[in-house]
A and B are shown apart, each in its own frame.
Chain A
Amino acid sequence: MFEKRYLASRLTATVLLLAAVVVAAVSARSYLAMRDPAPHVDRVVPHAGFEKHRLSEWFDGLAGTPMDTDVYLQQGAEPGGTVLVLGGTHANEPAGVVAAVVLLERADVQRGRLIVVPFANPMARTHTFPQDAHPQTFRFFTPAGTERVFRYGARTTDPVNEWPNPDIYIHPQSGQTMAGIERSNLNRAHPGLPDGGPTERLAHGFMRLIAEEGVDLAIDLHEASPEYPVVDAIVAHERAMELAAMVTMELEFEGVPIRLEPSPVNLRGLSHREWGDETDVLAILMETCNASAGRFRGKTDEALILDGEDKAYDKAAGLGRLYVPWESYNRRMAERVGRHVTAVRLLADNLEYVRDGKGITIDGLPGYDELSAEGVGAFLAD
């Protein structure tokens, strides 16, 4: 019927114009809701002993900007090393965020110091990618029935904060060229610039934090698509490789199969490369398996984020196209968070074997089996 040209008139044009305005208004309202979420969204309840700071205390160029983010520090009774854990470098990799929140709400530091940044790139939490159809939030329930809601964001900084991207992004320190959108990717912006774009300035803030606090071990928590080769993996800077190898073996002993990958020396802008090159820190990046950000996925909903259930991935697994065993134990949020939390604990436990007097002991963290059996909600505060 649309081919009958006489159907179009000034009236239909006006109706369609109004419809377009309504659709734009509804979309705008939904979009703005992510920038100004309700108080219960992304709420965290730090464990006793944590002090709340802002990243701008280390780099005042972030003060009063959307780049600034919360930094939590807990000092143990005994002196030791310092470990920094970042979640949310990529806001569409939710297990990294949730694992950092579990650390923040459960960690009881006995020796050394723990620094946790649960939402490393706050500007990536205010939008989702166009046409990716991701839900804006996902939720857990604590044993008392309290709903804990977190935003599902994007890999890159919101274009409202950093736009437009160039056709080609040139990493400032190395001159390496990348796709233009990588200018908005925190994990291509390290070590950052004090006077660069918002994402580069944010990266500079983390570099200042690491340098000024004398961080011994820095761990960046990520997730990767099941069809991406570096998944269920620890990626380690060459100076952190001995520690990472020890932890890889311990994870295997605990029934958590994991790959060990060297940080490529010629792939610049990544946390595990630049932090390790620019400072004395042992730099580690962790990847778990996240089907909700994968390209093969079908229906994209909260169940996919939390359980990884997807017919298209089932088929891809049957065809041998995935880099992970496609079993429920590997794709549920509980096990993905369990991997991250267990690896952080083991990395901290083993730090003293590669750095004398820099041991870190963290009590109170749930084990992989506990998280797997009871779910993430059981280990979040009310």
Chain B
Amino acid sequence: MLLTWIYWAITVLAIVLVVHSLYRERSLREQFVAAMVLVPLLLRALFIK
């Protein structure tokens, strides 16, 4: 159970950092990359058990 929470916290932290980068980035290409990285992170956050 503790392990699950640790993974969940790491995933949420990664999502926060990527969203932060998405808004900070001034290149559209880099924004696309950030959005694409976000998809599997969101899925992981949804399905961690």
Binding site for B on A (CB under 8 A): 1-8, 10, 12-13, 16-17, 19-21, 23-24, 27-28, 31, 160-161, 163-164
Of chain A, the residue at the smallest CB distance from B47 is A160
Whether A5 and B26, one on each chain, are in contact in the complex, defined by CB atoms closer than 8 angstroms, is: yes
List 15 A-B pairs, Cβ < 8 Å. A2-B27, A2-B32, A5-B28, A7-B28, A10-B23, A16-B31, A16-B32, A16-B34, A17-B19, A17-B22, A21-B42, A23-B39, A24-B42, A161-B49, A163-B49
List chain A residues, Cβ under 8 A from B23. Answer: 10, 13
Q: Are A8 and B30 in contact (CB under 8 A)?
A: yes
Residue of B nearest to A164 (CB): B7
Kindly state the separation between the CA atoms of A13 and B28 in the bound complex, as whole angstroms: 8
Q: Mark each residue of chain B from 3 to 35: 1 if its CB lies under 8 Å from any CB of chain A, else 0.
A: 000010000000000010011011111111011
When distances are taken between beta carbons in the complex, the residues of chain B under 8 Å from A27 are: 39, 43
Which of A17, A24, A164 touches B46 (beta carbons < 8 Å)?
A: A24
Q: Is B26 touching A20 in the complex (CB atoms < 8 A)?
A: no
Residues from chain B with a CB closer than 8 A to the CB of A160 are 47, 49
Interface residues on chain B, number (Cβ under 8 Å): 23
A293 to B38 CA separation, bound complex (whole angstroms)? 28
Q: Are A20 and B46 closer than 8 Å at their CB atoms?
A: no
Besides A3-B29, A5-B26, A163-B48, 16 other A-B contacts (C-beta < 8 A): A2-B32, A4-B28, A8-B26, A8-B28, A10-B23, A12-B28, A12-B31, A13-B22, A16-B22, A16-B32, A16-B34, A16-B35, A24-B42, A28-B43, A31-B47, A160-B49
Complex CA–CA separation, A178 to B28 (angstroms): 43
A160 to B49, CA, bound (A): 6
B contact face: mostly helix, strand, loop, or mixed:
helix
In the bound complex, what is the Cα–Cα distance between A16 and B35 (angstroms)?
Answer: 6
Given contacts A13-B22, A16-B22, contact A24 B39 (CB under 8 A): yes
Docked pose: A164 CA to B35 CA in angstroms? 25
Our pick among A2, A5, A20 for the contact of B38 (Cβ within 8 Å) is A20
In the complex, what residues of A have CB within 8 A of residue B25's CB? 8, 13
In the complex, what distance in Å separates the CA atom of A161 from the CA atom of B43?
15
Interchain nearest-CB distance for A24 vs B (Å): 4
CB distance from B39 to the nearest CB of A (A): 5
Q: Which residues of B contact A20 (CB under 8 A)?
A: 35-36, 38-39, 42
Q: How far is the CA of A16 from the CA of B30 in the complex (A)?
A: 11
Q: Give bound CA distance, A164 to B47, whole Å.
A: 12
Picked from B7, B31, B47, B48, the residue with its CB within 8 Å of the CB of A8 is B31
Contact partner, A13, options B29, B31, B36, Cβ 8 Å:
B31
A6 to B48, CA, bound (A): 38
For A10, the closest partner residue in chain B by CB is B23
**B27 x A5 contact (CB < 8 A):** yes
Counting chain A CB atoms within 10 Å of each CB, the highest count among B35, B43, B49 belongs to B35
In contact, B27 and A8 (Cβ under 8 angstroms): yes
